[in-house]
Structure 1
């Protein structure tokens, strides 16, 4: 049974319905479906339709376009986690003969490989994939437009190449690998390569009249990994939960977090967003959203997730230039988070205490700057400045009695405790920086030494 805390308030539900009703009317789309998940489960869905007596629901399929790319990125990360490739490997090592083999797998994932945005004519989204029999037909005669690794340049051919890479390493079709390794473990039964009833039909809406034109729905062939999938609002909410929390049957939380890490800095004028590895990133005030948008002729789709708030929102519509579903999904998410903020978990003490680690807590000094050390779960440590600006990080314990930085300036750096011969702590070494119990402690091994005269009351 659903608990009262899991249900949305009636006022929140009405705000969500009002928002999509206005979006469908003002966006002039035949239908619009949306859904919201919170704390790992679907808590709301709604729809609006122009067809009397026919209202799609959260299990009605729509084409999701480039949201497909995130699924492809997850499959590549699985290969990495199994040790079958490294993200810094050149493509040629695993998929020879493409003509762009010097670019790395990471660059392809983050759209920084410098490849062209589209395949050569005819327009691939509206023509059968059989017209592009090989990667040479997808990449064209001039596939590289920018120096690799320097800038973000969105590339559909780049994800086509990643799909072929998955097939080469796995020895199975991209679609079969997707079904076996993501869709089945996450119970995404209504996400498929081809439409399965009930599904929406794709339409174009005339820009100057309220009339419709059917859009063709084609199999994208080799380009399927860039935009083939059909899915539902309910299934995409399940995927959104996975992108927030990870799932060890598919990809660990740590590896999913890598997908959310920006691949290159955003360009001028785009500081509100960015791109990770198969995931779009967007700033909403103090809130960071991750997800992806998608479109193909006849359809627009969007999925946004706030990891910190534990909320995911999906919006799907069946019009080529329909309502701005990316904005709509973000606004639905914000409605829920602002009206019903996440209730923090209760504070609980650590299950056990290591006295040696407890003795490391409290104030430390880097020169004259004051920091506080806190003990966290699983023998972790947190080091943060106590006054003003400074460099802080969380640290995870390692088997050799050191700690590795997880974020901030010290991400990846090593923190170690330096002891005297009698076992007492002399200082902390953090990437060569010395932290002492007193400012420039004369009893600690401070680089450059400490003046014998000690602290004084005048600089003269």
Structure 2
């Protein structure tokens, strides 16, 4: 790929990996390099599974869309319809646009906790606050809490565990056979381990206390599978995302919006980043299916190569610089 050039400026040992798909005016190029497991693990390929971090949110939103289109819920439903105790002003559409004002669960984790947080934990802690940062729907504030609670809505309405619903209704039908929700201790074929660069040394950084919540960030997928997901979106095979965004979208600034797990411009250019303790991801696509940039890495805080690839795009570039999206997430 780019020989992991940023990393190798400071580190000369075995390097974590990157996988990228560049699509310009319908022509596609794949670039892969590095290893999925250090020091002598498999070379990264388009089948290597990376943790998506916040790129997972679009899949959680997709589950909600499917249930809405079956008449089992509405974007306008108040959250207390599913979980009594929440402010009735908080509606599902607010969770889907980061405008709920729900408290950040990361600040509610008990001191000294070492067990990984679950989505059910998030629901319990946030519902117990009994307040929001601001009037729901009045402003944008990125919220991992909201998407963890959305996964619990999926479970409540469908009667299935979130991971089971996701596999049965999305991953399976799309043939995404190298995609799964993380479960500690279970086999995960072709899984990349996460790493971080500290003091010019690459160290394992695969899990943290917050890295197992499902709705906001622990889907694993491969470049090959993500291509299937993108193609399903542009071909409206699960739902018409462009039409759904007309119902659920919040203007952040100028022409930049957020809705249904995506930053978007005009509903026809979609993008998101993902950051976690051992992974960095960037995705961008146009809804005509002819342009895309997908970048996965199993190295934390390592989005820079994606931005270099973005600058190298010749036919069409994102209308909103992808590097700026990092300032809008957490």
- Confirm or deny: 8 A CA contact 1:37 1:237 kept in the other structure: no
Who is 1:239 aligned against?
229
1:82 aligns with 2:70: yes
Unpaired segments ≥5 residues, structure 2: 318-330
Q: CA deviation at 1:43?
A: 3.3
Q: Closer, same or farther in 2 for the Cα pair 1:26/1:337, shift >3 Å?
A: farther
Structure 2 residue corresponding to 1:163, chosen from 130, 151, 155 = 151
SS in 2 for 1:223: coil
**Shift of the alpha carbon at 1:280?**
1.2
Alignment match, 2:34: 49
Q: What is the rounded CA distance, in whole Å, between the counterparts of 1:146 and 1:131 in structure 2?
A: 23
Query: How many residue pairs were aligned?
Result: 306
Report the equivalent of 1:318. 298
* 2:275 aligned with 1:292: no
1:108 matches 2:95: yes
SS in 1 for 2:244: helix
Query: Is 1:59 the counterpart of 2:51 in the alignment?
Result: no
Q: How does 1:283-362 map onto structure 2 within 5 Å? A: 289-308=269-288, 310-324=290-304, 327-328=307-308, 330-331=310-311, 334-335=313-314, 337=316
Asked if 1:202 is matched to 2:189, the reply is: no
Which one of the candidate residues 185, 203, 207 is aligned to 1:213? Answer: 203
Q: CA deviation at 1:265?
A: 2.1
TM-score normalised by the chain length of structure 1 = 0.59
Residues 222-274 of structure 1 deviation map (CA, whole Å, 9 limit, x = unaligned) = 83111111111111122122232320xx22x2x4442377722224xxx3633
Residues of 2 paired with 1:67 and 1:318: CA distance? 14
Equivalent residue, structure 2, for 1:381: none
1:158-186 C-alpha deviation (Å, 9 max, x unpaired) = 11111111111100011100001110111
Structure 1: tracts of 5 or more residues without a match: 1-16, 339-460
SS in 1 for 2:251: coil
TM-score normalised according to structure 2 size: 0.79
What does 1:378-389 align with in structure 2 at a 5 Å threshold?
none
Instruction: Work out which of the two has the higher radius of gyration on C-alpha atoms and give 1 or 2.
Output: 1
Instruction: Provide the secondary structure at the position in 2 that maps to 1:200.
Output: coil
1:400-425 deviation per Cα after TM superposition (whole angstroms, max 9, x unaligned): xxxxxxxxxxxxxxxxxxxxxxxxxx
Question: In structure 1, what is the equivalent of residue 21 of structure 2?
Answer: 35
User: Which of 249, 264, 271 is residue 263 of structure 1 equivalent to?
Assistant: 249
Q: Hey, what's the Cα distance between the residues in 2 that align with 1:71 and 1:89? A: 20
* CA–CA distance in structure 1, aligned partners of residues 111 and 29 of structure 2: 37
Write out per-residue CA displacement over residues 174-204 of structure 1, whole angstroms, 9 at most, x where no aligned residue.
1100001110111111111127232221111
1:279 aligns to what?
Answer: 262
Hey, what's the Cα distance between the residues in 2 that align with 1:24 and 1:181?
A: 39
Q: Which has the higher contact order (CA 8 A, sep 6+)?
A: 2
Partner of 1:121: 109
Alignment of 1:386-401 (within 5 A): none
Q: Provide the rounded CA distance (Å) in 2 between the counterparts of 1:331 and 1:261.
A: 32
* In structure 1, distance between residues paired with 2:206 and 2:260: 30
Matched, 1:96 2:83: yes
Q: CA RMSD in A?
A: 3.4
In structure 2, relative to structure 1, the CA distance for the partners of 1:123 and 1:313 (3 Å cut) is farther
